Structure 1
Amino acid sequence: MDFLTDWLTGWLKDLLIDGIMGNLGGLFDNVNASVGDVAAQVGTTPAAWNAGVFSLIQQLSETVILPIAGMVLTFVATYELIQMLLEKNNMHEVDVANIYKWMFKTAIAILILSNTFNIVMAVFDVSQSVISSASGLIQGSTDISADMLANLETTLEGMGVGELLGLFMQSILIQVCMFALNIIIFVIVYGRMLEIYLMTSLAPIPVATLSNRELGSMGQNYIKSLFAVGFQGLLILVCVTIYAVLVQGIATSGDPIGAVWGAMGYTVLLCFMLFKTGSIAKSIFGAH
């Protein structure tokens, strides 16, 4: 009878250990996959992310928004010319040099406005280049190998059936949290790209105000926002990578209970920080 009890206990322990290691191993594999997927998504340029959407946004910007921006630039240039003339004793004193200066400034503004889409894409190309370089350095240091899990499995083998059963239920909860985390990452990463497309579509209007000192704050803030959204991808990648490194430490600690609840805490922390990346990026670049 004791033999049968020992056999059932051993069989149940093996079953629970396999289940726990499967859940935790799946967690760590999911973390590695998330880091790789985030690196690929945030390191993709708007043109490469979705060619159809990119073409639509480009046509919208150049055929619908650009003419409106041309009207805005006309108003801004005319307003600036009138101000310049009124400054000189109500047009009684006209400085020809200022007229040439205004003409040159307006010509530069027209040139910039006509190439707004290319300039905006250049901003994102710079940010994506930085992100791609960073992702190449990051992904190699976050892999969790099978050897790292061996110590964890050894610890599980020394635990009782009751402890293993409780730990198995907790590991299932972690799997649910990881599913929620993947949804949050999807929303933030894809939402960022949609924000890039939306900002790009209206780019000519704020750019048209850059040449004026009084109205130029609109365009300046827009440029800052472009850099903020672009480099938000780097912050997202850094957050996910820090999470992966922390989880890697859990995998090598050999403490299964600590691994489960540590992963839970890190997951909640990552979700919070992912939502903060946008505001952090804007504060760094002074956008509002």
Structure 2
Amino acid sequence: MLDFIVNMLNSIGSGVGQDLVDQLLKTPQEYNPTLYAASLSIANMAVKPLAAVVVAIMATLELSRVAQKAEGDTELSVKIVGMVLFKVALVFWAAQNADLFLKGIDVAGKWVADGMGDALQTTAPTVAQGQLGDQMRDAIDRSGWKGQIACMVVLIIPWLVSQVAKIVFTVVMMLRFVQIYMMTAFNPLPIAFLSLEQTNQWGMNYFKQYASYVFQCLTLYLGVIIYRLLVTDALQPAAYHEGDDVASWMTGNFGNLCMSSILLIGMVIMANGVAKKLFGGE
């Protein structure tokens, strides 16, 4: 019973297991190599031919437009047509190698993730000390079986709420990677629309959205670290003094225990919003 209570408190205090949190720092290729390879195969075999057709259509429309603008001026026509063909060739090359641009965004995210991990090394001891159950193990052990039963009754609701928060976090994390894989599968198509002025915003928005999904994983990671520090401050396990009734302490912190798990859900929502704002989203 002692170990179960300690694990319940640790679960509430940490929010999410570290093994799950560490997955947020992986690139899409590292997270699920099979899905990543499947996405690239779809892009290469199914979407690239369509992107080539779109580029051809866009080139025809653009050449028709500039031909009307430079009608009667041979020298100007040659210059404008040459510029259009160069732009079309550049867009075609970019569409055929779109995965390189996405990998560049993945590498940028990994670079920030590694730097974030190094920066948080100084706070890691503080986070480790925030394991509520480990800090209060001796006090819970001294409370006897009656006190431990009382502690379990008090903790059951906050612990259940924390499990719901973990499910929400896990689902959001998995969906982020699924969105990245789906966008990777269609990566050549948005670039094809860059060749026409009226549609180039579509391609730009695609890259902005992809970068937003990549950095949402990083903001989620940072949100968990902030959560752990905030929970430690809110519950203040150091406020328990030798001789105090541990069940009474937990009862007095019942609101904070429930609040901590709700805070984790709020952190997930807020982290998603922060990542969108980084790239001009609403």
Measured against the shorter chain, the TM-score band is 0.7 to 0.9
| 3-state SS, counterpart of residue 143 of structure 1 | helix
Correspondence for 1:6: none
> By how many angstroms is 1:70 displaced?
1.0
Query: Paired residue for 2:73?
Result: 93
Residue type of the alignment partner of 2:258:
M
Q: Distance in 1 between matches of 2:47 and 2:256?
A: 50
Closer, same or farther: CA 75–27 of 1 in aligned 2, 3 Å: farther
Q: CA RMSD in A?
A: 2.9
Residue matched to 1:234: 218
What residue ranges of structure 2 are gaps of 5+ in the alignment? 241-248
Distance 1:120 1:58 in 2: 11
CA distance in 2, matches of 1:49, 1:286: 27
Whether 1:190 and 2:170 are equivalent positions in the alignment is no
TM-score (norm 1): 0.80
Letter in 2 for 1:192: R
Distance 1:184 1:148 in 2: 23
1:61 aligns with 2:43: yes
1: CA distance between counterparts of 2:268 and 2:212?
14
Aligned equivalent of 1:252, options 238, 261, 274: 238
2:128 corresponds to which letter in structure 1?
Answer: D
Asked if 1:142 corresponds to 2:127, the answer is yes
Whether the 8 Å contact between 2:168 and 2:265 is mirrored in structure 1 is yes
- The structure 2 residue matched to 1:272, chosen from 250, 266, 269, is 266
The structure with the largest alpha-carbon Rg is: 1
Contact residue 35 and residue 244 of structure 1 kept, 8 A: no
Q: Is the 8 A contact 1:34 1:182 kept in 2?
A: yes
Are the counterparts in 1 of residues 15 and 227 from structure 2 also a CA contact under 8 Å? no
User: Following the alignment from structure 2 to structure 1, what is the Cα–Cα distance between the partners of residues 176 and 214?
Assistant: 9
Overall identity of the aligned pairs, in %: 20
CA apart distance, 1:146: 7.4
**1:34 counterpart SS class:** coil
Residue 276 (structure 1) shift:
4.1
> Secondary structure of the equivalent of 1:180?
helix
How many residue pairs align between the two structures?
A: 266
Please list, as runs of the form range in 1=range in 2, the aligned pairs for 1:76-225 lying within 5 A after superposition: 76-88=58-70, 91-94=71-74, 95=76, 96-138=78-120, 140=124, 141-144=126-129, 150=135, 154=139, 166-225=150-209
Which amino acid is 1:59 matched to? S
Question: What are the Cα deviations for residues 128-178 of structure 1, in whole angstroms up to 9, with x where unaligned?
Answer: 3212331343362411267995578659969xx7x8765431212222122
Cα offset for 1:201? 0.7
Change (3 A) 1:23 1:111: same
Q: What TM-score, normalized by structure 2, do the two folds share? A: 0.82
Gaps of 5+ in 1: 1-17
